[in-house]
Structure 1
Amino acid sequence: MAETNLRILLVDDEPLAVERLELLLGRFPGTEVVGTANDGEAALEIAESLSPDLVLLDIAMPGMDGIDVARALSESAVDPAVVFVTAFDNFAVAAFDVAAIDYLMKPVQPERLERALDRVRDHLAGGDRAGRRRMPAHVEEFWVPDHSGLVRIAASDIARVTAERDYMRLHVGARSWLIHRTIAKLEEDLDPALFLRVHRSVILRRDTITSLYRDEAGHWTARLKDGGEQRIGRSYIDQVKKLAGR
């Protein structure tokens, strides 16, 4: 099947970010940057003039932000596909509400951009923009502070999440990182097919649980692949036991 040619509008208030996206898109055949904009109002005007297939759209911009731009585009006659490109992971739910196709974290990785372009092509091939537009309902990656910079963590690499007051600790292998998030919000963001909350302060990746046992006092505990154990909270026992088909 011939690859769908994508006419793309880039919107970001940082010129270097626009330039970097242009360079990345140059790696992929079947993409054409037809315009750029540095603010929301200009983006709407250019979109109306050029009718792009796709808008790669920053969220945090002065004046009209990306969420407002996406909402306005969806109500316009142009109605292009929208993929958000942002440095902040806490806009994912808002992005889903305005029916974005995808949500990319800066700095954008080439393989992640390629997956987003494939999703856009699938959407366009469906021929029903209002009905088929979809963004992953769950966060796929986190950018977390690490010394003087940021580290990208794939959600699927997280083995365990533990609560520490107003912060969540993401455990990946022998390392861990803190993010400012409530456990309820993180539980909402993570894919329930991969993760399971087992305690009021603990979320586990499902495939790290190797067995379940109950002690003499009636408390249930999960044994983990790394040799550790995790006590299961009473209100989560029924949900955890479904792992074993119980």
Structure 2
Amino acid sequence: MSDPLRFLIVDDEPLAVERLQLLLARMEGVALAGTALEGAAALRLIEALAPDAVLLDIAMPGMDGIDVARAMSRMERPPLVIFITAFDTFAVAAFELEAVDYLMKPVSAERLAKAVERARHRLADKESGPLPPPATPHLEEFWVSEPRGLVRLAASDVDRISAERDYMRLHVGSRSWLINHTIARLEEELDPQRFVRLHRSAIVRRDFVTGFRRDETGRWYAQLADGEEQKVGRLYVQNARALAGRS
């Protein structure tokens, strides 16, 4: 008999944790590795317990489920992820992170059983298949929403990125797409040899910058390949100087 699939449950609502525990307890071939009520504790338990998969709530205070999943993806042997949420606005982010499944609350026993089977098959494929190539330390692609589904964008094709409230807009030529990221996270994950932050709300591909100009007030502007200009924030003038070879 094969070993049971070991799950960690992560949700900031104790009643939700209890409900998932009860649903798992009724399934064969499944074991509970542990539970956590917030993201940082979940990461510590994952390192200590090495579960096969995580039932992960997304909307949690502090480190949310997307943050936890991104942190897990950098582990040597990350567990599989099944997202569980009361909202449907995170589907693209979940897709980007290669989640096994994406379940809406309240989770039914039948729907959870399907997700568990998907996790079981995914784990079997990982164990039987060839080792994957080493992961790049930088974000190489985005999955963006289109009216008929999702489209893959290579990071190298993105000209610039601008912040719009709680979202980021990716600009590629004359088109643009909104994604659910923060600019701080993008600055950390994008290749610094390819992208540079020039403003608190703007990241630009380095080879998309064609020059700089300074106005009468001393404010710097980056001139872009599409004829537009990007204001350089005072905190990011050094980045502009380095790009121009003047650091």
What whole-Å deviation, never above 9, does each CA across 1:130-185 have from its counterpart, x for those lacking one?
A: xxxxx322211111221141111111111111011001001112211111121111
Aligned to 2:144: 144
Report whether the alignment pairs 1:117 with 2:132: yes
Tell me how far 1:213 sits from its aligned partner. Answer: 1.5
Structure 1, unaligned runs of 5 or more: 1-35, 42-61, 75-87, 108-115, 120-134
Q: Structure 1 residues 150 and 200 mapped into 2: Cα distance closer, same or farther (>3 Å)?
A: same
SS in 2 for 1:187: helix
Aligned to 2:170: 170
Tell me how far 1:39 sits from its aligned partner. Answer: 4.3
SS in 2 for 1:117: coil
Distance of 1:64 and 1:191 partners within structure 2: 36
Distance of 2:4 and 2:148 partners within structure 1: 28
Counterpart residue type for residue 99 of structure 1: E
| TM-score after normalising by structure 2 | 0.52
| TM-score after normalising by structure 1 | 0.52
Identity over aligned pairs, percent: 45
Tell me how far 1:73 sits from its aligned partner. Answer: 5.8
Q: Structure 1 residues 225 and 191 mapped into 2: Cα distance closer, same or farther (>3 Å)?
A: same
Report whether the alignment pairs 1:93 with 2:71: yes
SS in 1 for 2:138: coil
Distance of 1:190 and 1:161 partners within structure 2: 11
Report whether the alignment pairs 1:209 with 2:206: no
SS in 2 for 1:204: strand
Distance of 1:136 and 1:38 partners within structure 2: 32
Distance of 2:166 and 2:173 partners within structure 1: 23
Q: Is the 8 A contact 2:33 2:49 kept in 1?
A: no
Aligned to 1:219: 219
What whole-Å deviation, never above 9, does each CA across 1:177-218 have from its counterpart, x for those lacking one?
A: 111121111211211111111011111011100111112211
Counterpart residue type for residue 216 of structure 1: E
Q: Is the 8 A contact 1:89 1:143 kept in 2?
A: no
Q: Is the 8 A contact 1:40 1:69 kept in 2?
A: no
Counterpart residue type for residue 226 of structure 2: D
| Backbone CA RMSD of aligned residues | 3.8
What whole-Å deviation, never above 9, does each CA across 1:212-243 have from its counterpart, x for those lacking one?
A: 11122111111111111111011100121101
Structure 2, unaligned runs of 5 or more: 8-30, 35-42, 52-64, 79-95, 100-130
What whole-Å deviation, never above 9, does each CA across 1:96-146 have from its counterpart, x for those lacking one?
A: 1x2259xx8659xxxxxxxx8343xxxxxxxxxxxxxxx322211111221
Distance of 1:237 and 1:162 partners within structure 2: 17
Relative to structure 2, which stretch is displaced further, 182-191 or 198-207? 182-191
Q: Structure 1 residues 161 and 71 mapped into 2: Cα distance closer, same or farther (>3 Å)?
A: farther
SS in 2 for 1:171: strand
Q: When the two structures are aligned, how many residues end up with a matched partner?
A: 157
Tell me how far 1:93 sits from its aligned partner. Answer: 3.1
Q: Is the 8 A contact 1:89 1:142 kept in 2?
A: no
Q: Structure 1 residues 199 and 106 mapped into 2: Cα distance closer, same or farther (>3 Å)?
A: same
* Moved >2 Å (runs of 4+): 36-41, 62-65, 67-74, 88-94, 104-107, 116-119
